[in-house]
A and B are shown apart, each in its own frame.
Chain A
Amino acid sequence: MKNFDVVVIGGGPAGLAAALSARKKGASVAVLERDDKLGGILNQCIHSGFGLHYFGEELTGPEYAKRFRDAVLQDSGISVFLETMVLSLSKDKIICALSPAEGLLEIQAKAVVLAMGCRERSAGAIALAGERPAGIYTAGAAQRLCNIDGCLVGKEVVILGSGDIGLIMARRMTSEGAKVKLVMEIMPFSSGLKRNIVQCLNDFDIPLRYSTTVTRAEGKDRLTGVYIAPVDEKLAPILEKEEFIPCDTLLLSVGLIPENDLVSDMIELSPITKGAVVDERRETSLEGVFSAGNVLHVHDLVDNVSEEAAIAGESAALYALGKLPRGEKYAVTPSRGVRYALPQRIQAGEGKVRVYFRVDQVYRGKTVAVASGGEIVKRKKTAVMAPGEMQYIEIDKTALTGDVSIYLEEV
């Protein structure tokens, strides 16, 4: 059995930032990553647009990852285990992992940071009707095949869902000479970033149809086309308006699900984010277990991931070294217009806390309000807010007198 103060599960941007900040507080750290390389999903995001907030410059995914990777690999206080898949984590923080180099590995951690990222929703998860030929992939799988393995999944493409990976793949496949015929979104608004719609679709004249979905796929061995239809208010397709679009590829960008299988029966998960319920330290319902990055809630900007993970890593180190302060906790609840807010709990005390949230539809010119103990403690006027863009509002802990709610005024 090996021993570490802090064990980080997952070596993507969240895991790496957490490891570095845990080290700063003097903890011994291990990073367990199942891939043969650190960097997580960023390794396949070869486009630029990363790091504008964190580093103040525009980097590609691999460049952004490399900065963190180099720092981690240079730090002798961080042990990195690659090709190491964590199989189980027990309540007393014994981790069991498997790797070709080490075989079965058992590690006792004082504190754990969960940084396992997320997975994509599949065709099965959305119960896509029709045939099941080659040519139907999640956008991330197609991205990996394209950017890591060097092969292109098809030439005539239709994309279902306006998630960021789908948008980015629309541009990538176009640059590879494929024709992206259409992007469809079942909701009346996009789930991706505005900037991705502009840069990946508008700039290439790729049409985006809202309130539209795929009703069935056709093709025996290879996809030959999809039937699509507009949907009504209940999101049910209006089949009289069904039309056929010939294509050889359907990419799905229909949602990301935090990868919490390892801990789902051990920690409290939010039914909305599908990630852990945490306090502002990113501590989960199980003492000494912290969570950050896409495994906590799906982020659209890696900069936010790094920031969040730094908090989790630092807190995990403090916990392991017996220095994490404890106090009364207030619940944070979203209401009117706000779909979720994170952290879900805030400890009374001093300092500032950023509450991240997503709205439930597109709003223009609304005011976000935070109330505590019945009093409004913060208000912020906003121009446009969309579900695809994570927002935050910063509050002062000293202003809190009771449970916190966050909502939009005038809704």
Chain B
Amino acid sequence: MTSFDVIVIGGGVVGTAVLKSLASYEAKTLLLEKASDLSMGSSRANSGIVHAGYDAEPGTKKAYFNVLGAKMLPALAEELHVPYRKTGSLVAAKGGGEAGLEVLLDRAKKNGVRAEILSREKILELEPKISPEIQSALYAPDAGVVSPYKLTIAQGDFAVLNGATVKLNEKVEGIERAETGFIVKTSKGEYAAKAVVNAAGAGAKRINEAIGEMSVEQVYAAGDYYILDSKQSGVVNTVVFPLPDEKGKGILVAPTADGNVILGPTSRRVSEAQAERNAVTREGLALVREGVNRLISGVRIGDAIRVYAGTRTSVGSDFIIEESKSFPGYFMLLGICSPGLTSSPAIGEYVAEWAAKKFAFKKKEKTVPLPKKFKLSACSIEEAREKAKEDPAFGRIVCRCEKVTEGEILSAIHSPVPACTVDAVKRRVRAGMGRCQGGFCMPRVMEILSRELHLPLTAIRKGDEGSEIAPYEVKDGYEEL
């Protein structure tokens, strides 16, 4: 049985943040993820907003980690070459909503977050298409947007590059206490560790139960979204929220870090079984459309290129971020709902420092930086010319909508946490994320995966096991002319 210093369960943004932070120490680490890629839980389907930190109740863990995480995120995104934009955010209120904004402004002050209330004239300077009903807004200049799955994957890549192990398609099924720590049992094997970090998102409760920790009540709320074509990118410049209500921060309109527009989410209570499925509902989409019209005028829903849903998992009203009292060395990260993405860098550091202190891990002198990857759609003509000359694969465009070259796809397939499915390629390089949604490039990406992974085309999957795209062979082929 292989032994590790720390095993992290769950490859979402929180688990990989822990792994990334631990990579600065002399520690042997392992991350176990049940899905076929990192970022297959909440971390793939959320709003991607870096919340400034005025929303969380002062004194809570949410407030503490949100504010700290928001400060860390811009530098982290730059270090890992993850798309991030500081856009600022507006909480937009109709006439009569000023009192609600004052409450938020007061929280902002207590949490140490920059914010001010703007009149309609000032709002118009930021958002020319704000709905005529909106009279005032809370402006937080430090809010931003980030690509949540790219952040998650880049954290995993960085950690692996610096010695961590990531195992995909491996579900944790049991944990036992051993003399020197724990034995983690998975669908494929057993591993020993001094410390275990439970960052399993919606699955965290089951992990707690497996070890015998207190049982917690998890509540699940699904949210529906639209993503619009990048040609709509002019409709909104900042993250625009309505006034929050008891269900949460409400339906927002925002640019995404990759240049599209995001609309959503709703907040629907769902069961544990449904939480795994992330089905979009028509009613949810209708609510999104209504919500959007109250904030911004002239958003063209007809330019949608994708709809999806994600599920938040909460336990009570605050995050649970603590070492188990009954099982020292077992660290719990429970109910990391919004603003969990924003908080994740701070949570990662916190857990790594806890482990380092407890097990006296030495800080490494230096870490290997994650190399910046070539991206045709983001480079100059001269860079494109040079790169294509150097390697013809960077002259061969596979995804026409997002202008992704074969070279970029190859580098995703051979990255530290390798992309082995069509969706995993898509999340790393955006092939299939544009307006035709892979109608053109999906078969071509499959061909490349089949060649590189030495698998028959019929075995290439969209995502997890059982999602083979074209599982049968054609009997009656035709000869090429």
Contact = CB atoms under 8 A, between A and B. Distances in A.
A222 B461 CA distance: 10
A149 B457 contact: yes
B304 A101 contact: no
Contacts of A237: 282
Contacts of A144: 443
B437 interface: yes
B464 A149 contact: no
Contact of A124 (B306, B397, B469, B471): B306
Interface string B396-411: 1100110101000000
B226 to A, nearest CB: 7
A216 B285 CA distance: 12
Of B443, B458, B466, the most chain A CB neighbours within 10 A belong to B443
Interface string B236-275: 0000000000000000000000000000000000000000
Contacts of A87: 403
Given A134-B462, A151-B457, A129 B388 contact: no
Given A129-B307, A215-B282, A221-B465, A104 B388 contact: yes
A390 interface: no
Interface stretch (A92-100, A290-298, A352-360, A362-370): A92-100
B59 interface: no
A103 B389 CA distance: 6
A64 B317 CA distance: 66
Nearest to A36: B396
Contacts of B1: none
Nearest to A264: B231
Interface stretch (B19-27, B102-110, B473-481): B473-481
A129 B282 contact: yes
Nearest to B36: A221
A127 B462 CA distance: 19
Contact of A46 (B231, B301, B478): B478
A142 B282 CA distance: 26
A141 B438 contact: yes
B467 A129 contact: no
Interface residues of A, number: 60
A56 interface: no
A130 B395 contact: no
A145 B422 CA distance: 14
B439 A145 contact: no
A222 B464 CA distance: 9
Given A134-B468, A221-B465, A216 B392 contact: no
B193 to A, nearest CB: 30
Given A62-B480, A100-B392, A150-B457, A129 B279 contact: yes
Contacts, number: 174
Interface residues of B, number: 64
Contacts of B301: 127
Given A103-B395, A222-B468, A216 B282 contact: yes
A120 interface: yes
A134 B439 contact: no
Contact of A130 (B280, B385, B392): B280
B277 A145 contact: no
A148 interface: yes
A359 to B, nearest CB: 23
Contacts of A102: 395
B298 to A, nearest CB: 16
B394 to A, nearest CB: 8
Contacts of A100: 388, 392-393, 395-396
Contacts of A147: 474, 478
Contact of A128 (B307, B397, B466): B307
A138 interface: yes
Nearest to B401: A261
B406 to A, nearest CB: 8
B280 A34 contact: no
Given A144-B443, A220-B277, A122 B466 contact: no
A141 B442 contact: yes
A124 B306 CA distance: 4
Contacts of A150: 457, 473-474, 477
Contact of B307 (A124, A176, A218): A124
A144 B396 CA distance: 19
B359 interface: no
A9 to B, nearest CB: 12
Nearest to A265: B231
A151 B476 CA distance: 10
Contacts of B474: 146-147, 150-152, 176
Nearest to A46: B478
Contacts of B388: 98-100, 103-104
Contacts of B458: 151
A127 B468 contact: no
Interface in A356-389: none
Nearest to B377: A87
A73 B279 CA distance: 50
Nearest to A223: B467
A153 interface: yes
A333 to B, nearest CB: 24
Interface in A127-163: 127-134, 137-138, 140-142, 144-155
9 contacts: A100-B388, A122-B438, A123-B437, A134-B462, A134-B463, A134-B466, A141-B440, A149-B470, A151-B470
6 tightest A-B contacts by CB?
A100-B392, A124-B306, A122-B437, A221-B466, A151-B470, A134-B467
